[in-house]
Structure formats: structure tokens, C-alpha cells
Amino acid sequence: MPTGTKTEGPFVEEWRRLRLQRAIPALARHDYLYKLALESLRERLDFVTQRFENILFLGHEFAARSMFHACDIESVAFLPARAQPQSYDLIISFFQLHQANDVPGLLRQYHAMLRKNGLFMACCFGENTLHELREALMQAEVLTRGGAAQRTLPMIGLRDAAALLQHTGFDGPVADGETVQASYPRLFSLLHDLRGMAETNLTSGARQPLSRRALAEACKGYAEKYSNKNNQLQATFDVLFWHGWRA
């Protein structure tokens, strides 16, 4: 969870920190999804006429600097342990919430950190993300082991996002989504891209490595079911955008 406190849950916080550090030097070769989402987030913010002076951007620094060229902005990868209440006019969470153990708890913290009439915005991967990979890995492990470990991240649904905002005190909660269809020459190219984005599995259940036989079956099953006419593997990325206000 991206906070200064330790929370029980499926995600291992320290893995997230280490993988982000590892990914940063080469992130520019794997950030196309982030750039697409950043542009969509910027378009949504352009519809807001209110001026924001104190901004907290939680996510990759390149995204913060790209979105706010001349603003006084505080950009951090993880939520500070001692976040002050009513400190910000705008808080943006950029690809953080889908790897958080306690999403309602985080949203309550963000709500408390906003000033009156402050805005919270977020984007993260949604529940349909990488459904092809999830299916291929699960079927391969069932075939080779008789059971399957959780190999992909559990994701938030679109309806869940709006409900979470409402239940954690935000006014005017809105959630919508965009689907990006990517293609890769082979499964290892997709896995390499996910590693470069620091989006590999962070769940504690992912400790057991995938066997060579299972990986071979996953490659075969994925290609058989989700190849396009150019023999490229299709991969779905479901990106959710949410926002809500503090009254």
C-alpha cells in the first residue's frame, strides 16, 4: 500500500517500491500507456474551471511535470506518513490505487487532506485489464499443476470506483473508463513491458515461480485464443478515471 503505514492485504508494499526503483531508468521505453492515460487525465482536468494552487501528485514524477508545467506541485511516489489535513486543493493519484491494500482507507486520507472545494482525481487499471493473460496463466497452471496461483493483480471495477468515492465522503463522485488494445509479438514481450512499467504481480501469493511447462502452455494457449490476423498477441488494458470533491 502506498502509505507510510503497514496494512494487511494481498499486496507487498516493499515489492512495489523496489520495482519502481528498478523501472525508473528505462521507463521511457515502456510508458506509452501512462502517456495515453496522462493525456486523458489532462483533458478531464481542462473541463474544471477552478484554479488550483496546492497540488499533490502521487505517481511517476515525469507524469507530474508533464501535466503541470508552471504550477507549485508536490510530486511523490508514495503518500507521506505524516500527511497534513486540509493541505491541498487538488490531489491526483496516478496508477496507485490498483496496487493498494486498503483503497477505502486511502480515499479517506485523501478526502481529509483536501481543503474545502478541493478535487481528488485518479486513474488506475480496471478489472478487465490483462484478462487474456490471466486466463492463459490460470488454464496453464490447472493443466500442469491441477490448481492455479494468483498470477495477475486483482483490479477495481468501474461501479466499485464510483461507490468507493461516495462511501468515503466525496461529493459528486464520477468514474468512467477507457480501453486500450495493445499487441505484442509474443508473451515474453508483454511480460517484459509489464516489468518495465513496474506493473508485475505484487501479491504475496506470487512467490511460487511458474514452471517452464506451465509457461510453455500459457504461451501456447494465449496464442491460440488471442492472436490477431497479424499473429500478434492481443492484450487489453482497462483504464479507470475517477474524481470527487470535498464539500
Statement: residue 89 has pLDDT above 90: yes
Look at the domain 13-245 and name its fold.
Answer: Rossmann fold (3.40.50)
- What is residue 17's predicted lDDT score, i.e. its pLDDT? 67
What's the mean pLDDT in 86-109?
90
Mean predicted lDDT score pLDDT of the chain? 84
Tell me what percent of the residues of the chain surpass a pLDDT of 70: 79
Statement: residue 63 has pLDDT above 90: no
- What is residue 77's predicted lDDT score, i.e. its pLDDT? 60
Q: Is the dihedral of CA 226, 182, 28, 63 positive or negative?
A: negative
- What is residue 7's predicted lDDT score, i.e. its pLDDT? 47
Q: How does pLDDT run across 169-220, given as a tens digit for each residue?
A: 999 999 999 999 999 999 999 999 998 887 876 454 555 677 899 999 999 9
pLDDT range class, residue 78, cuts 50, 70, 90: low
Among residues 107, 128, 11, the alpha carbon closest in space to that of 58 is found at: 107
- What is residue 222's predicted lDDT score, i.e. its pLDDT? 96
- What is residue 75's predicted lDDT score, i.e. its pLDDT? 66
* pTM: predicted TM-score of the whole model, two decimal places: 0.84
- What is residue 201's predicted lDDT score, i.e. its pLDDT? 67
The set of residues, in sequence order, having a beta carbon less than 8 Å from that of 46 and lying 6+ positions away, is none
> If DSSP states are collapsed to H, E and C, what string results for the chain?
CCCCCCCCCCECHHHHHHHHHHHHHHHHHCCHHHHHHHHHHHHHHHCCCCCCCCEEEECCHHHHHHHCCCCCEEEECCCCCCCCCCCEEEEEEECCHHHCCCHHHHHHHHHHHEEEEEEEEEEEEECCCCHHHHHHHHHHHHHHHCCCCCCCCCCECHHHHHHHHHHCCCEEEEEEEEEEEEEECCHHHHHHHHHHCCCCCCEHHHHCCCCHHHHHHHHHHHHHHHECCCCCEEEEEEEEEEEEECC
Q: How does pLDDT run across 13-29, given as a tens digit for each residue?
A: 666 667 667 767 777 78
Cα–Cα distances (Å) from 124 to 66, 178, 203, 211, 237, in that order, read 18, 11, 17, 30, 10
- What is residue 101's predicted lDDT score, i.e. its pLDDT? 81
- What is residue 81's predicted lDDT score, i.e. its pLDDT? 58
- What is residue 1's predicted lDDT score, i.e. its pLDDT? 34
- What is residue 120's predicted lDDT score, i.e. its pLDDT? 97
More confident residue, 70 or 155: 155
Tell me what percent of the residues of the chain surpass a pLDDT of 90: 53
